Amino acid sequence: MRPGPSTSFAGPPPRSGEDCETAYAKINLALHVRGRRADGYHDLETAFAFVDAGDELSIVPAQRDSLSVSGEFGDGLGGDNIVAKALALLPHAPCAVSLHKRLPVAAGLGGGSADAGALFRLIERRHGLPADWPRLAAALGADVPACVRSTTVLGHGTGTDLVEVAGDLAGTPVLLVNPRVPLPTGPVFRGWDGIDRGPLPAGDQRAIALQGRNDLEPGAIALVPQIADVLAWLRGTGAWLVRMSGSGATCFALYDTAEQRDAAAVPAPWWHLAGRLR
């Protein structure tokens, strides 16, 4: 079930007088597309999970709201990005927000949604969230409500209807790999073949991950063939699950041990990030 407005989503306490929060990278353990909707969206069933690393946000009091962006993937993010939109939606005292972009853009990792989710947690910690925060989050993007929570959860509808799922994959070693090719979401969904291949499997998180699929993978590979290369390479690294995340182009691998994960020497110039599931 969705958490109520009194629930605290914040992570560790503030450091050095400055509130800081990680925008945890989102992956889809499985993503089943069930149909196209009249409003242009798609009905989905997906298992969201989150890596214990990602972009970094910090917030300090200021005379007026501002947003600064840095990091490898910060170029090209204008003032009208999702963090600025989230800041405009939420009641708060004036503040300066700093965003350090570690996650690639248009990569299937919910980077912008994760950034917005981290801002929601920062605002919650400082001022509390309004009772209708799930509606505000969903207005920013289908992944944002899940990214506010940043824990393994099932998403239905457009992905905004969230329910708990049994099991505990927390601590599972994970490797994210992206061929450094941006892949916007829209063309990938338009490339879905329209065939409903069935719902998410029943069971706990591991069962859903193992028995599920990503229905967007074939269309994404048609647009960015390098995804197939990444998947093939990851399958040779000893992982117990390899899959594309979201609409791509990032792929992920789950391992039994961190030693298996760390033994995988990711080919240059691919981007990669090692971590554990939250």
Residue 4 lies in a domain: no
Residue 217 lies in a domain: yes
For residue 267, give the CATH number of its domain. 3.30.230.10
Task: Give the residue numbers spanning the domain of 123.
Answer: 19-276
How far is residue 4 CA from its own chain's centroid?
21
CA 14 to CA 149: how far, in whole Å?
19
Phi and psi angles of residue 149, each rounded to the nearest 5 degrees, phi first: -75, -45
- Number of domains the chain contains: 1
Q: What is the pTM of this model?
A: 0.92
Q: Which of 35, 24, 72 is nearest to 198 (CA)?
A: 35
Write the CA distances from 146 to 29, 46, 141, 225, 273, integer angstroms.
13, 11, 10, 29, 21
Looking at residue 172, its pLDDT comes to: 98
Joined tokens for residue 94: 């004036």
Write the CA distances from 59 to 52, 126, 144, 166, 167, integer angstroms.
20, 10, 19, 34, 34
Residues 16, 25 contacting (CB under 8 angstroms): no
Coil, strand or helix at 278 = coil
Matching residue, tokens 């990005």: 81
For the beta sheet containing 251-254, the strands, ordered from the edge strand earlier in sequence to the opposite edge, are 241-244, 251-254, 173-178, 271-276
What are the pLDDT tens digits along the chain (278 aa)?
333 322 345 444 444 457 999 999 999 999 999 999 988 899 999 999 999 999 999 999 999 999 999 999 998 676 679 999 999 999 999 999 999 999 999 999 999 999 999 999 999 999 999 999 999 999 999 999 999 999 999 999 999 999 999 998 999 999 999 999 999 999 999 999 999 999 999 999 999 999 999 999 999 999 999 999 999 999 999 999 999 999 999 999 999 999 999 999 999 999 999 999 99
Residue 1 lies in a domain: no
Residue 139, amino acid: A
- The set of catalytic residues is 26, 143
Looking at residue 18, its pLDDT comes to: 79
Q: What is the DSSP letter of 153?
A: E
Residue 84 lies in a domain: yes
Residue 6 lies in a domain: no
Residue 229 lies in a domain: yes
Q: What angle do CA 197, 203, 207 make, to 5 degrees?
A: 75
Residues 138, 162 contacting (CB under 8 angstroms): no
Residue 10 lies in a domain: no
Residue 72 lies in a domain: yes
